[in-house]
Structure 1
Amino acid sequence: MANSPNSPALPDLIARCLRNERRGQELLYRQFYGYAMSVCMRYTHSREEALEVLNDGFLKVFTRLDGYDINQPFKGWLRRILINTAVDHYRASVRHQHEDMGEAGHVSTDMADAYSQLAHEELIALIQQLSPAYRLVFNLYVIDGFSHDEIAGQLGISVGASKSNLARARENLRAMIQKKGNDEYARATR
């Protein structure tokens, strides 16, 4: 959300949050809610789960705001906290589900043509249908630009598992896109 004439400037909001002013925290939350939710939605399966990650992320923001460098873009700092919170959320759920992240697979290439035909919301909906492990690696690598070494370090998996999960995520997305195309063609020809 862009600054409205009635909303305070970002440095003022940050100063108010550093003084633990609830109203300042609320305004900062509202100002960045849409952006933050879009980041969280990429890493979660549902809107409710995204909201949980978002709220946990903002709690970290408010408790770590004194470590923010005012000379750096706030959105980048916020995004990094939200991604790390989503990764933490994933790790906690994996501990409970004991999900196997697999080692085998082969890397797929060039899905740009298929992706370009989908609306952003449709693509996010398809990504949300991936298993948590595949969704997390796909987002970290493809959307947020992390390397496989960085992903492996963050998730406590091997580089090979990161590559495998990315390949499987791409294969699953390709299959979902193809099925979606076939379903739409079938409806159109009826």
Structure 2
Amino acid sequence: MKHLDWSDEELIVGCKRKSAKHEEVFFKRYYGYVMGISLSYAKDRDLAQEIVNDSFLKFFSSIKSFEEFQSVKSWLRRITVNTAIDFYRKNKRFQDQRDINDQVEIFHEVGALSQMAYEDLLKLIHLLPPDQKLVFNLYEVEGYSHREIAEEMKITESSSRVYLARAKSKLRDLVQFHLNEYAGR
């Protein structure tokens, strides 16, 4: 059987044996999935790549504790989200504020609201301050509760709620700004 035809179960068994070939195939199979998750948390592609690399390292180093009844994608998603949270905590004091010129540049790239694609929405979400973006993603995309977010980010539940409310308000403003810009053309 060709190695690309290996099932997830075969890949996991090989990864538990520390087979470099199995790890390589697993990495290639799930790279896009993990990168997609990472991009929704990272401020740029370079940081997303760091999150991807660390996520796979954590996955391979903890593979022995993976149980057969678990979903590979769920487990990998959880590791990736936790890795993104770790990067957020580690880099929080170094986060920069976006320049208004960056925002205007992105708005001109986004189509009308009715034609907004996933990538367009991601561009708007990336304009949120890091705290708000992280809470928004954890709550709205990952389905975390405010209690879980508070525990992960080391903040209070009420702070999580405030960040989410601010994120939603800012997104509404960004969409409205975009629509006004689009209508003015």
TM range (shorter): 0.7 to 0.9
Secondary structure (helix, strand or coil) at the match of 1:72 reads coil
How many angstroms apart in 1 are the aligned matches of 2:42 and 2:15? 27
1:5 deviates by: 8.7
2:109 equivalent in structure 1: none
> 1:61-95, CA deviations, whole angstroms, 9 ceiling, x for partnerless residues?
00001111111211001000000000000000114
How many angstroms apart in 2 are the aligned matches of 1:83 and 1:157? 17
Q: Which runs of 4+ in 1 moved over 2 A?
A: 4-7, 95-99, 114-118
| Deviation larger for 177-186 or 75-84 | 177-186
Alpha-carbon spacing, 1:115–1:168, altered in 2? closer, same or farther (3 Å): farther
Match of 1:167 among 165, 168, 175: 165
2:184 equivalent in structure 1: 186
How many angstroms apart in 1 are the aligned matches of 2:114 and 2:143? 19
1:7 deviates by: 3.0
Does 1:57 find its partner at 2:55? yes
Is the 8 Å Cα contact of residues 38 and 52 (structure 2) preserved in structure 1?
Answer: yes
How many angstroms apart in 1 are the aligned matches of 2:3 and 2:47? 32
How many angstroms apart in 2 are the aligned matches of 1:148 and 1:69? 28
Is the 8 Å Cα contact of residues 40 and 54 (structure 1) preserved in structure 2?
Answer: yes
1:102 equivalent in structure 2: none
Unaligned runs of 5+ in 2: 98-111
Secondary structure (helix, strand or coil) at the match of 1:43 reads coil
Letter in 2 for 1:165: Y
1:103 equivalent in structure 2: none
Aligned-pair identity in percent equals 39
Match of 1:28 among 26, 29, 33: 26
How many angstroms apart in 1 are the aligned matches of 2:168 and 2:116? 15
Match of 2:39 among 41, 55, 66: 41
> 1:32-61, CA deviations, whole angstroms, 9 ceiling, x for partnerless residues?
111111111111111111111011111000
Is the 8 Å Cα contact of residues 7 and 27 (structure 1) preserved in structure 2?
Answer: no
1:149 deviates by: 0.9
> 1:78-116, CA deviations, whole angstroms, 9 ceiling, x for partnerless residues?
0000000000000001144599xxxxxxxxxxxxxx987
How many angstroms apart in 2 are the aligned matches of 1:172 and 1:56? 31
The count of corresponding residues between Structure 1 and Structure 2 is: 170
Alpha-carbon spacing, 1:115–1:135, altered in 2? closer, same or farther (3 Å): farther
How many angstroms apart in 1 are the aligned matches of 2:126 and 2:24? 28
TM-score scaled to structure 1, two decimals? 0.82
How many angstroms apart in 2 are the aligned matches of 1:39 and 1:85? 11
Match of 1:125 among 86, 99, 123: 123
How many angstroms apart in 1 are the aligned matches of 2:44 and 2:96? 20
TM-score scaled to structure 2, two decimals? 0.85
How many angstroms apart in 2 are the aligned matches of 1:18 and 1:5? 16
| Deviation larger for 115-124 or 52-61 | 115-124
Does 1:143 find its partner at 2:141? yes
